[in-house]
Structure 1
Amino acid sequence: MPVKFYLHNKPAADGRRPIYLDVRWGRSGAGSADKQSRLRTATGQSCLPTNWNDLRGRIKSAEKGYSAANNALVKLEADAGNAIERAQLDGVPLEPAALQTLLKPAKAAKAARKAAAVKPAPAADPSVPRTMAGLYADWQRARRARLSPKGLTAPQGLITRLEAFRPGIAPTAFLPDADGRIPVLEEFCTYLVEEATMPRTGRVGMQNNTISSYLKLLRRLLKFGRQPTDAIEDTFLEDVEREALSYAEVMAFYAHEPLDLKEGSTNAGSRVAIRDVFVFNCLTGPRYGNLATLRPSDLKLEHVDGTAVPVLEYVQHKTRRNKRKVRVSLDPVAYAIWQRYQGQLPVPTNQTMNAGIKTIARSAGLTRPVTVVRGIGTQRLESVVPLWQTISCHTARYTFVTLQYEGGNDIVSIQESVGHAGINTTRHYLKSRPTQRHAATLAAFNALRQREAP
């Protein structure tokens, strides 16, 4: 019965990570009739990554209250072993949900009381036509146990716009006609482009990528209502150009000490961690989702020409089936960051990371003007904003590809370092600098002029 305790990759505001239990039991293999079962659940304990002994699965003595927390882990491990052994002796299969109930009876009782208190949805009146708002309410009830509160409210903007466009609109209005067109959808998109008002700015007209996200949500709701969605085509999705940082800008970001906070603030440590994680990402290039799953064992030391070179080796997960092994050597700055956190980078949530990056970049003086292009229908809108407003987590991946190419690395090696399936994707991430591009253009014409000169 393998039992393992591990730290979750999502830290709290104070940098502590929850400790989870991973237990497996049963048999596995081609000749086994029983399938192996697995339970992963929170233990209720947490600690700082630097105070966690991953080999022993225990909290180090440097953590306050480590003794009581370790005793709780020992008890949880013993309870799991006793429950599994008792089920095996009785010859009764033990399901993961049953084991979790045995380990956490109070939580199971609370969940049962909560489930009993939920009122069933009222029966639909067949004489009243179903509306999109009603479909959204049914979708929320069906997804409440699977989605976060933010995920449950994602289609709310779409429903609000639909009600403003045509109150009480029914899902059947989005069925295609004999020609395969959906006139109501065309009218709704025209309304979003020409009449919809943005609540914050008061601007009339919605950006194309926002309309594209609405169409995606509309397909999701209609699919839940068992209605065909093949005729809903998205012609509004636009590719958003991202600006890569220069090496000097990355180093300026790294050199900045984000400690200009109010006295007594607890945000200084988390901002330092955000700074380090972002710079590490710029110098190594993994996806944000893979960055949060890196482990100390992912670092290998390889000898190249008699010199030990740290190499980060991990399996890139984009989807369940799309897995690709990625290997990239670490720059001295990236290696120093890795050692500082002992291979357990304090990666926060995506939203926290993006907000922190912008705050630090602004304080570090990354104010280079950047042109941002957005579309509203067929209209092309340009605006010039400071660089820090455009930086996000994914900027680091663009930055890594661009810096590697500017440093002389070939594009095939860069493709393998970032785990792209095709080289065209890597070319998309590669951003040329305007000054270099203009200089190269003029140099090419000068070379032609000299060649043709008598």
Structure 2
Amino acid sequence: MVTQFTLRTDKKDSTGRCPVHLAVYFDGLRLRCATGEKCKPADWNEDRQQFRRSYPLAEDANALLARMASDMLAWWRAVRAAGETPTLAGLKAALRPAPAPTPAPERLVVTEIMEFREVMRRRGLMWNTLRHYLVTANWLRDFERWAGRKLTVSGYDLATHDLVLAYLRHERALSPNSLYTVGKDLRRLFGYLRDERGLTVSVEPRKLRVACQDTEKVYLTGPELERLRVTVLPTTLAPVRDVFLFCCYTGLRYSDVLQLHGGNVEALPDGSGRVLRLTQTKTRTRVSVYLTAAATALLEKHAGPEREGPGARLLPVYQNQVMNRYLKRICQLAGVTAGVEVVEVRAGQVIKSMRPKHELITMHTARHTFATQSLLRGMPVEVLQKILGHASIKTTLVYAKIVEDFQHQTMRRIWEDVPTPAPVAADTIYTVESSAA
């Protein structure tokens, strides 16, 4: 093989420079291509086939030509060893090998979780679930500022995960269930990145699991409900009390009672009463709830022209934060002030404190109250599951675990042959006696 560098004086440009070409001869075949270098004829030594010293950076330019000749020789030997025919395309590829691929920028976990949140929004996830991803992203940003480094998808391993959880547990003093939410969100994110986006991750998503801790569910006893019902309240607080009681009688969540309208109320075919039929906002589960006399009375109390027509709300429901703030005052006025032991886990330590029950009351307490009071009256768990709209009966059984009275009644019936008490009329839910604290 013979390599030759020539100056193409027939292709002089406007500045008088000519391109330097490379010609390769082997086995009667000649291949020629441009080297990409140019110079004026006075700067080219035709005998030596290189740049004269008068050419700027002549030493570097001649080293480049020597490297090209060496690359040509290595390429030709490889082609010959493979038994292939040299081609012009192969020559150009050997002269100018493809640049090394630019490494892709590191994918940041915070960026990916926000993009994943948008994907989940387009797939129809509910607002509350999407909000969790936003909260998790904010916590991860706080960790990055604290640690002084970014969290990357390729670098997020179990050791990094443990460091993140340690920061959230000890520095931010998050509750165990908040940590559970972070683990759940990250588990879903990395599973999506690996299985749907085809990205390489440094951790098995299922190993990002964080244990969930059962929290004490506060509910009202029968006597407390009765006191709440009969307490004389200011006119500004009475509507809030009525909405809360209605949820105690039906088990509705705040999000469902907020949007309750006339179309949700249907009369039973046999004329024995009315029912609520609605699709739950949180789970989109279709449920049917019988309206007891107590619940019906509350609807009739607030009936009027402003409650009629399409889109009209059946009950005067305020913003959730306002309802919760008023409820604490209402329950305090009603004497719902018994002490409740609150157990929290902060920075890995169990903290116990005694707080008045009225400080713990929220709109969701009504749903807990309905579930526990229904079990105390002997409602089968399977029926309660349908009314509450739980997908799994395990969720409903949580209420059976916290109702000590229900446990006591069951043990007395089994071990002491005490007959099961007669069921209490549904319209007297607020008069049921209970020894639960």
TM-score normalised by L of structure 1: 0.53
Q: Does residue 183 in structure 1 map to residue 159 in structure 2?
A: yes
Shift of 1:138: 7.8
Shift of 1:147: 8.0
The range that moved more, 128-137 or 212-221, is 128-137
Shift of 1:242: 0.3
Pairs within 5 Å for 1:404-443: 404-430=374-400, 433-434=403-404
Residue matched to 1:61: none
Report Cα offsets for 1:238-265 as digits up to 9, x if no partner: 2222022112212222333442xxxxxx
2:153 pairs, out of 162, 165, 172, with: 172
Secondary structure of the equivalent of 2:363? coil
Q: Which runs of 5+ in 2 are unaligned?
A: 1-101, 308-313, 419-437
Change (3 A) 1:245 1:319: closer
Residue matched to 2:360: 390
Residue matched to 2:85: none
Residue matched to 1:300: 266
Shift of 1:206: 3.3
Secondary structure of the equivalent of 1:254? helix
Query: Which amino acid is the alignment partner of residue 312 of structure 1?
Result: V
Query: Which amino acid is the alignment partner of residue 206 of structure 1?
Result: L
Change (3 A) 1:151 1:351: farther
Secondary structure of the equivalent of 2:331? helix
Aligned residues with identical type, % of pairs:
23
Q: Distance in 2 between matches of 1:301 and 1:135?
A: 50
Query: Which amino acid is the alignment partner of residue 221 of structure 2?
Result: S
Change (3 A) 1:417 1:208: closer
Residue matched to 1:254: 229
Task: Tell whether the 8 Å contact from 1:327 to 1:417 is kept in structure 2 after alignment.
Answer: yes
Q: Distance in 2 between matches of 1:134 and 1:319?
A: 27
Residue matched to 1:310: 273
Q: Distance in 1 between matches of 2:334 and 2:230?
A: 8
1:215 pairs, out of 158, 183, 205, with: 183
Structure possessing the higher radius of gyration over alpha carbons:
2
Report Cα offsets for 1:210-269 as digits up to 9, x if no partner: 22233345567766896658245232322222022112212222333442xxxxxxxx53
Secondary structure of the equivalent of 1:346? coil
Residue matched to 1:337: 298
Query: Which amino acid is the alignment partner of residue 246 of structure 2?
Result: F
Secondary structure of the equivalent of 2:224? helix
Q: Distance in 1 between matches of 2:285 and 2:334?
A: 37
Query: Which amino acid is the alignment partner of residue 427 of structure 1?
Result: L
Change (3 A) 1:417 1:255: same
Q: Which runs of 5+ in 1 are unaligned?
A: 1-124, 177-181, 199-204, 260-267, 449-454
Q: Distance in 2 between matches of 1:134 and 1:297?
A: 43
Pairs within 5 Å for 1:12-161: 154-155=135-136, 157-161=138-142
Change (3 A) 1:183 1:325: same
Task: Tell whether the 8 Å contact from 1:243 to 1:431 is kept in structure 2 after alignment.
Answer: no
The count of aligned residue pairs is 297
Task: Tell whether the 8 Å contact from 2:228 to 2:334 is kept in structure 1 after alignment.
Answer: yes
Q: Distance in 2 between matches of 1:137 and 1:410?
A: 43
TM-score normalised by L of structure 2: 0.55
Q: Distance in 2 between matches of 1:405 and 1:137?
A: 42
Residue matched to 1:277: 243
Q: Distance in 1 between matches of 2:109 and 2:394?
A: 40
Change (3 A) 1:158 1:219: farther
